[in-house]
Amino acid sequence: MNFCADIFADYNCLTTAEGLLAAGMEDVNVTFDMFFREIPDKGGFAVMAGLEQLINRLENLSFTEESLSSLKEQGFSDKLTEYFRNFKFSCDVYAMPEGTPVFPNEPIVKVHGPALQAQLIETILLNTVNHQTLIATKANRVYRAASGRKVIEMGARRAQGTSAAVDGARASYVGGVNATSLYPASQKYGIPVATMMGHGWVQLFDSEIEAFKVYLEEHGEDGMLLVDTYDTLDSGVKNAIQAFNEVLVPKGLRPAGIIIDSGDMTYLSKRARRMLDEAGFPDCDIYASNSLDEILIKDMLNQGAKIDGFVVGEKLITSASSPVLDGVYKLCETEKNGEKLPAIMLSNNVNKITTPCSKRVWRLFDMESGKAIADVLTTENESIGDEKTYSLFDPDFTWKRKTVDNFVAREMLVPVFKKGECVYKCPSLEDIRAYCNEQVASLWEEVIRFENPHKYYVDFSGKLWGIKQSMIEKIMRHNDTTGENQYV
């Protein structure tokens, strides 16, 4: 059996495609929303990422003869394989730019186009954006916990596969991380790379001091010494100071830093800082590693740790404390005979009830402080841009209302594809990272705090809320009439 390397789709996407062709519905226009329901780590926001990779995957979406043969072997029809042989992506795609803080239950990607194509890309879209947004969100938490200190991503050895490691390093950089240790990520995306030694290097030599000196001879002032192979204070730091004096100082060079990878790093960093300062190396940075995350980093700094940077690995690249972004892809509108019809999904779990209509997402910023006030979802033909005042209300608790003025509304979903042609120019990775930092700074401190963050409101326009409620009531009345109370 041939392996369909270029068909990245769940099996049900293929069977649905075949069913749409059989029913003559392949070109019925539909609109899907991608959104997520819960923020990882119970945080106040997530960080959108993965758009550039998604664009690349959609631009190169095609099917080889080998894959078409494989589909035939699986029993799929000649009609489907012929459709794929002549496939050309023709959907409109809108998305929030990478680096944007995003919130539950608002569209972060919107797809409009032929039903067969729009549903076919579900797996690609969710796989790409869910993973990248998850890692960028975790990275931003680590970056903020470090309070301006340097953070190096070093998680490839425990990432779930090579693509998760490489693309995860990129997402980490979007979220705020300063550098990566992974060479392919640096080569592919231009991420700054960090040079660090390993314990194995030290163990290969007859003595620790010899290992340090040879390493510094090779790497000069870029070399960071790992000082905990045998004993951090009585051996590692002492030998590092000796190696600095014998190798770097005669050349007029200064040391980059030392790394502590085990033990009580708060205590050890304080002692190491004193030893380095007394030896004339107050400019030698101290880095900490060893299964760190934002909570440990914050705790160490609160305890007065003398740490200048952090090397963060598996807990970042796997988002170990919250390893899934629950992004979903749901139909919200169809077109029949030129008429747009809102679509909704109900569920026994009220959190899974979807919001109908093709929507626009607006973010309201206070003109005086520059801070984000709330996001508002409207129908496609509504605009907030010219409003002088706007009345916000909670779509779940409608008695919660607030009138805002002196604000500016920015539309958050930007065009990415028009009829299958990419119309979006991806910013540089540096610009995305800077944009992320700028947009996170526009959130109130209460939203970005780690513990019990304030809920950022995603509200509905009155018109959108009314459509959703009327659809729910209509379905409920139908169920009461037929006795089908599956949604009660």
pLDDT at 295 over 50: yes
Condensed to tens digits (0 to 9), the pLDDT of residues 308-362 reads 999 999 999 999 999 999 999 999 999 988 899 999 999 888 889 999 999 999 9
pLDDT at 111 over 60: yes
Residue 484 pLDDT greater than 80, yes or no: no
CA distance 15 to 2: 18
Domain 195-290 has CATH 3.20.20.70: yes
Coil, strand or helix at 329: strand
pLDDT at residue number 378: 97
Check residue 39 and give its pLDDT: 98
The distance of Cα 115 from the centroid of its chain, to the nearest Å, equals 27
Q: Which three-class secondary structure string do you get for 96-120?
A: CCCCCEECCCCCCEEEEEEHHHHHH
The residues pairing with 114 across neighbouring beta strands, listed in sequence order, are: 29
Which residues in the chain are classed under CATH 3.20.140.10?
A: 11-135+323-482
Residues in Cβ contact with 369 at an 8 Å cutoff, skipping those fewer than 6 apart: none
Q: How far apart are CA 419 and CA 438, in angstroms?
A: 32
Q: What percent of the chain has pLDDT over 70?
A: 97
d(CA 439, CA 480): 47
Residue 55 φ/ψ region, left for φ over 0, alpha for ψ in the -120 to 50 degree band, beta for the rest: alpha
413-424 pLDDT per residue, tens: 999 999 999 999
Q: What pLDDT, in 10s, does the model give residues 49-92?
A: 999 999 999 999 999 999 999 999 999 999 999 999 999 999 99
Tens of pLDDT, residue by residue over 434-476, are: 999 999 999 999 999 999 999 999 999 999 999 999 999 999 8
101, β-bridge pairs: 47
223-253: pLDDT as tens digits = 999 999 999 999 999 999 999 999 999 999 9
pLDDT score recorded for residue 486: 43
Once rounded to an integer, what is the mean pLDDT over residues 203-221?
Answer: 96
Note the Cα 419 to chain centre separation in Å: 26
Tokens of 483: 């006795």
Q: Residue 64 has what DSSP assignment?
A: -
8 Å CB contact between 236 and 205: no
**pLDDT the model gives residue 485:** 45
Q: Which two tokens stand for residue 96?
A: 């929030």
- Taking alpha carbons only, the member of 177, 119, 169, 168 closest to residue 146 is 177
Do residues 447 and 453 make contact, with C-beta atoms less than 8 angstroms apart?
Answer: yes
Q: The tokens of 247 are what? A: 């190798």
Q: What is the pLDDT of residues 125-154, one digit of tens each?
A: 999 999 999 999 999 999 999 999 999 999
Work out the mean pLDDT of the chain and round it to a whole number: 94
User: How far, in Å, CA of 130 to CA of 333, rounded?
Assistant: 23
Paired tokens of 98: 């990478």
Cα torsion for 57, 433, 148, 320, to the nearest 10°? -20
Q: Which of 393 and 209 is assigned the larger pLDDT?
A: 209
10 Å CB burial of residue 340 (0-12, 13-18, 19+) is middle
Decide if pLDDT at 428 tops 70: yes
**Cα–Cα nearest to 134, from 80, 172, 87:** 172
Which of 412, 414, 411, 407 lies closest to 373, judged by CA?
Answer: 407
Instruction: Give the C-alpha distances (Å, rounded to integers) separating 130 from 28, 171, 196, 291.
Output: 27, 11, 31, 23
Strand partners, 259: 226, 287
Integer Rg of the chain from CA: 27
What residues does 102 pair with on adjacent strands? 46
**Rounded Cα distance, 37 and 181, in Å:** 33
CATH T-level assignment (fold) for domain 11-135+323-482: nicotinate phosphoribosyltransferase (3.20.140)
Answer yes or no: is pLDDT of 292 > 80. yes
pLDDT at position 483, please? 52
Q: Any bridge partners for residue 418, and if so which?
A: 421
Percent of residues, the chain, with pLDDT higher than 90: 90
Q: 5-62, pLDDT tens digit by residue?
A: 578 999 999 999 999 999 999 999 999 999 999 999 999 999 999 999 999 999 999 9
pLDDT (average), residues 276-299: 97
The Cα–Cα gap between 271 and 361 comes to 52
Residue spans in the chain of domains classed CATH 3.20.20.70: 195-290
| CA-closest candidate to residue 361, choices 183, 70, 97, 58 | 97
